[in-house]
């Protein structure tokens, strides 16, 4: 993890693995993983290939570590919601996950935060082609998350807390699709904070676009 | 753009431009556009490179024609909704687009059908990296569609037909994000018809997950 190697090019700051990964993931996203070469990566980093190899054994390892950021964070979201607390101390946090709808709420809220905070890594995950073992394993973990969400939606429906005219599997896919799509346009310097976005998504997911209970035209 | 009537059969089934495009887009999707070579494409088609060149001047032209399928179809969706009819003869089609909410309904419904029918071309569009003029022009057209949707959401809010506690820009992005995400998992041989999916999406977008007005536990 040390940032060794006097960096060429106008005294740019030394890299640790994490800051290198940010740049590398940008290369993957700009050109696609398959088309990204170590030459491109070392050029973008302004480092020699051997300096890059000092931190990563291979392109596959870079991808694996990057995907772990997205998948690990999402799996943690589910683990915490299913344990019944989000640790964030927000309203009704303790035990929020005890019922299925509370878990859905926690998962949606936390997944929006992950989408904002781990945006580049999620973009990478969402655009995988599945041409290597690392990619296939990541896609398998992604499918497992979808299955977990679907199971929670099914429980919510069984608890009578979800409308019964919408298939829980579809509802889960729609919800994940919406949350995932944030990474396509979210800007850290944009007008909405991740927390405000999470609230807006939750509100949309809960009630749709329908005019508020009492129609008002102000 | 001439529709060659009788495609001459060679040893293997004859390709016309359209059926070649299907295979080519699969190569683009499997490897990313940047990493897809003419060699890969001709191998996958089982044709010589010169046979491929008979139909397409370049890789960029293949991409351009493929993206036109997605973008042209989506632009048509907006054009028809804004003209106030969907031409599909469904319930309430005539004049459905006269108010903004009617237009949103038409656009969501028709965009779901496009997502299903033009799935491979939409996947391509949604994963563009923007490294060439063709890609940049397509991304510009995609942005224009988002702006059109946002404008309609703003009108709907001004007409008092959209809840006023959700930013119309966010609502438009959420809605497009949800619809676009269908291409990630829709299967033409899956259990849902495109029409049924469109209804489910409309219902979700309109009312969210909330239990029906009168809670029932059957």
Cβ–Cβ under 8 Å, residues A156 and A101: yes
Q: Is the pLDDT assigned to residue B214 strictly greater than 90?
A: no
Q: Is the pLDDT assigned to residue B12 strictly greater than 90?
A: no
Q: Which two tokens stand for residue B131?
A: 């490294």
User: What mean pLDDT value characterizes chain B?
Assistant: 86
Residue B213 lies in a domain: no
Q: A5 falls in which pLDDT band (50, 70, 90)?
A: very low
Interatomic CA distance for residues B21 and B164, integer angstroms: 44
Query: Which tops the pLDDT comparison, B182 or A209?
Result: B182
The confidence score (pLDDT) of residue A215 equals 38
Q: Which two tokens stand for residue B155?
A: 């009108």
Cα diameter, chain A = 66
A91-147, pLDDT tens digit by residue?
444 444 469 999 999 999 999 999 999 999 999 999 998 899 999 999 999 999 999
Interatomic CA distance for residues A22 and B95, integer angstroms: 50
- Using CB atoms, pick whichever of A34, A166, A201 lies closest to residue B35: A34
Domain of residue B42 covers: 12-56
Interface test with A, best of B29, B112, B124, B209 (most A CBs within 10 A): B209
Interatomic CA distance for residues B120 and B122, integer angstroms: 5
Contacts of B160 in chain A (CB under 8 A): 211, 215-217
Vertex A180, ends A177 and A181: CA angle to 5°? 85
CA-based R_g, chain A, Å: 20
Q: Compare all CA atoms of chain B with the CA of A125 and give the residue at the minimum distance.
A: B127
Residue B113 lies in a domain: yes
Residue A51 lies in a domain: yes
A149-188, pLDDT tens digit by residue?
999 999 999 988 888 888 999 999 999 999 999 999 999 9
Q: Is the pLDDT assigned to residue A77 strictly greater than 90?
A: yes
In this structure, are A96 and A48 located in the same domain?
A: no
Nearest to residue A163, comparing CAs of B209, B214, B202? Answer: B209
Q: What is the mean pLDDT of residues A72-98?
A: 70
- Choosing from A56, A74, A97, the residue where a domain stops is A56
Cβ–Cβ under 8 Å, residues B41 and B35: no
Interface test with B, best of A139, A174, A182, A218 (most B CBs within 10 A): A174
In this structure, are B39 and B131 located in the same domain?
A: no
Predicted interface score ipTM higher than 0.90: no
Interatomic CA distance for residues B184 and A174, integer angstroms: 11
In this structure, are A75 and A30 located in the same domain?
A: no
B27-40, pLDDT tens digit by residue?
999 999 999 999 99
In this structure, are B140 and B79 located in the same domain?
A: yes
Cβ–Cβ under 8 Å, residues A60 and A132: yes
- Using CB atoms, pick whichever of A165, A176, A184 lies closest to residue B212: A165
Q: Which two tokens stand for residue B152?
A: 């309609």
In this structure, are A5 and A94 located in the same domain?
A: no
Nearest to residue B181, comparing CAs of A206, A113, A172? Answer: A172
Cβ–Cβ under 8 Å, residues A126 and A139: no
Residue A213 lies in a domain: no
Taking one residue from A and the other from B, the number of pairs with CB-CB distance under 8 angstroms is: 147
The confidence score (pLDDT) of residue A13 equals 56
The confidence score (pLDDT) of residue A37 equals 95
The confidence score (pLDDT) of residue A161 equals 85
- Number of structural domains (chain A) is 2
CATH classification at residue A32: 1.10.10.60
Query: Which tops the pLDDT comparison, A109 or A13?
Result: A109
Residue A212 lies in a domain: no
In this structure, are B34 and B83 located in the same domain?
A: no
In this structure, are A24 and A105 located in the same domain?
A: no
Q: Is the pLDDT assigned to residue B98 strictly greater than 80?
A: no
In this structure, are B20 and B122 located in the same domain?
A: no
In this structure, are B172 and B77 located in the same domain?
A: yes
CATH classification at residue A90: 1.10.357.10
The confidence score (pLDDT) of residue B13 equals 58
Cβ–Cβ under 8 Å, residues B62 and B135: no
In this structure, are A33 and A82 located in the same domain?
A: no
Interatomic CA distance for residues B24 and B42, integer angstroms: 9
CB contact under 8 A, A164 and B31: no
In this structure, are A76 and A51 located in the same domain?
A: no
The confidence score (pLDDT) of residue B127 equals 92
Residue A126, C-beta contacts closer than 8 angstroms, at least 6 positions apart: A180, A183, B184
Residue A8 lies in a domain: yes
Contacts of A112 in chain B (CB under 8 A): none
Nearest to residue B145, comparing CAs of B185, B172, B109? Answer: B172
Contacts of A34 in chain B (CB under 8 A): 31-32, 34-35
In this structure, are B41 and B144 located in the same domain?
A: no
Interatomic CA distance for residues A63 and A73, integer angstroms: 16
Residue A216 lies in a domain: no
The confidence score (pLDDT) of residue A207 equals 83
Residue B215 lies in a domain: no
Q: Which two tokens stand for residue B195?
A: 């029409």
Runs of H (alpha helix) within chain B? 17-31, 38-45, 49-55, 59-83, 100-117, 119-126, 133-158, 168-181, 194-207
HEC secondary structure over A89-143: CCCCCCCCCCCHHHHHHHHHHHHHHHHHHCHHHHHHHHCCCCCCHHHHHHHHHHH
């Amino acid at each position: 993890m040390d940032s060794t190697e006097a960096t060429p090019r106008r005294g740019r700051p030394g890299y640790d693995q994490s800051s290198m990964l940010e740049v590398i993931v940008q290369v993957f996203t700009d050109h696609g993983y398959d088309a990204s070469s170590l030459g491109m990566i070392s050029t973008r980093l302004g480092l020699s290939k051997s300096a890059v190899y000092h931190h990563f054994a291979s392109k596959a390892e870079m991808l694996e570590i990057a995907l772990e950021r997205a998948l690990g964070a999402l799996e943690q979201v589910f683990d915490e919601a299913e344990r019944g607390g989000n640790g964030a101390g927000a309203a009704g946090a303790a035990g929020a996950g005890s019922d299925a709808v509370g878990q859905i709420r926690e998962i949606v809220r936390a997944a929006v935060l992950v989408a904002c905070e781990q945006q580049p890594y999620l973009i990478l995950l969402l655009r995988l082609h599945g041409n290597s073992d690392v990619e296939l394993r990541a896609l398998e973990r992604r499918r497992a998350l979808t299955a977990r969400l679907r199971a929670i939606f099914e429980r919510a429906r069984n608890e009578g807390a979800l409308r019964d005219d919408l298939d829980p599997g579809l509802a889960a896919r729609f919800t994940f699709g919406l949350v995932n799509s944030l990474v396509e346009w979210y800007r850290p310097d944009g007008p909405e904070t991740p927390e405000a976005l999470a609230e807006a998504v939750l509100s949309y997911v809960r009630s749709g676009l329908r005019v508020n209970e009492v129609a008002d035209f102000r």
